[in-house]
Structure 1
Amino acid sequence: MRRCASGWRGCWAEGHALSANVALKAAGETLGYPELAQLLRRRGVAAGGLHREQMKELFRRMVFNILMDNIDDHEKNHALLMTDSGEYELSPAFDVLPSGQALGYQQMRVGAQAADATLDNALSECAQFGLKRAEAQEQVKDVCALVDGWRVHFDQAGVRPGDIQSLAQQIDRAFLLDQRQAESARHGVVGGAA
């Protein structure tokens, strides 16, 4: 695959892309994160283990979407870029925003409990992402730490204080904050911003 002027592989203007919706339906799969991970395992770029790294990245994105209350994570907001050899690469993330709807479920299947937006559900099928339980828990811990810093990041990005307070009502609501704090406690980390 060629490089774009911006430098990243898989440029939309120069390569072929397909939504997870199209890719999963064409493969006869359920519309879910684990199924998309398995599609990357089967059809992803094997050279250098890129498909394994991208399966892990997809797991991290799923956990991030759960913790940031991004429920607009439907199969059309995930894309695969096709290389010249017909292999898939996970596109850069896009349309990732807190929804503020507090529904408690994602748009795609997360794990054994369907689309329930819980870390336990995300961990329930971690093997589908090529991760052992301990590896998946480490990824969850890292994403929790990242999300705990959301206020600082938003402030540095110029988000107005009033908007941060409004977002805090969703991102730091009990259902999500409790999950982050439980994960921090499990690892002996002081965290879980409030």
Structure 2
Amino acid sequence: MVFNILVSNVDDHLRNHGFLWAGENGWRLSPAYDLNPVPADVKAHILSTNISLDEGTCSIELARESAGYFGLAQTDADAIIREVAAATAQWKTVAASMHVKPSEIERMETAFDHDELRLALTVGSVRPAP
């Protein structure tokens, strides 16, 4: 869910979530597939799979608010969010290493570099008093 928010994946319906049988270890989440990051100027950042029962928007704050539904303590949820954000923040380096054209990297920038990523990189961190 956090990854979908951070990469602006607008094709996050339930058929794009899967599990794999891992033998004695039971079921595990499958690797990500059928991802469609879309720049902000092409389509608003709205997930197909809602986070909240009340609205269809996606945000790191809504993801944080839903942590309890997944059996996560807030500190654990924040750590996961920061970890996913740190990996996502490397997107330009990874794209360049895969020989993606600079013009294509620039075109996709708003799908990956946005306020939600900046927030996710710092959630749960101690901030100095004003």
Same-fold call, TM > 0.5? yes
Counterparts in 2 of 1:27-46, with a 5 A limit? none
User: Is structure 2 residue 33 aligned with structure 1 residue 90?
Assistant: no
Describe the superposition over 1:77-106 as per-residue Cα deviations: whole angstroms up to 9, x where unpaired.
112335779x64322221123123432211
1:79 to 8, 18, 21: 18
CA, structure 1 residues 185+79, in 2 after alignment: closer, same or farther (shift >3 Å)?
Answer: closer
Could you tell me how far apart the structure 2 residues matched to 1:128 and 1:95 are?
25
Q: Note the C-alpha offset of 1:185.
A: 4.5
Alpha-carbon contact 2:82-2:122 (below 8 Å) kept: no
Could you tell me how far apart the structure 1 residues matched to 2:81 and 2:22 are?
30
**Partner of 1:66 in structure 2?**
5
User: Is structure 2 residue 116 aligned with structure 1 residue 179?
Assistant: yes
Structure 1's unaligned 5+ residue stretches are: 1-61, 189-194
Could you tell me how far apart the structure 2 residues matched to 1:168 and 1:185 are?
20
User: Is structure 2 residue 70 aligned with structure 1 residue 133?
Assistant: no
Bigger relative contact order, structure 1 or 2, given CA contacts below 8 A and separation 6+? 2
TM-score (norm 2): 0.78
Higher Cα Rg: structure 1 or 2?
A: 1
Richer in helix (by share): 1
Could you tell me how far apart the structure 1 residues matched to 2:69 and 2:15 are?
21
**Partner of 2:57 in structure 1?**
116
Q: Root-mean-square deviation (CA), in Å?
A: 2.3
Alpha-carbon contact 2:60-2:119 (below 8 Å) kept: no
Describe the superposition over 1:89-125 as per-residue Cα deviations: whole angstroms up to 9, x where unpaired.
3222211231234322111122355432100111111
Q: Note the C-alpha offset of 1:64.
A: 1.0
**Partner of 1:25 in structure 2?**
none
Describe the superposition over 1:52-74 as per-residue Cα deviations: whole angstroms up to 9, x where unpaired.
xxxxxxxxxx1111011111111
Could you tell me how far apart the structure 2 residues matched to 1:131 and 1:115 are?
22
Could you tell me how far apart the structure 1 residues matched to 2:75 and 2:23 are?
35
Q: Percent identity?
A: 26
Alpha-carbon contact 1:106-1:115 (below 8 Å) kept: yes
TM-score (norm 1): 0.55
Aligned length: 122
**Partner of 2:98 in structure 1?**
157
Could you tell me how far apart the structure 2 residues matched to 1:109 and 1:128 are?
14
Secondary structure of the residue aligned to 2:19 is strand
Secondary structure of the residue aligned to 1:99 is coil
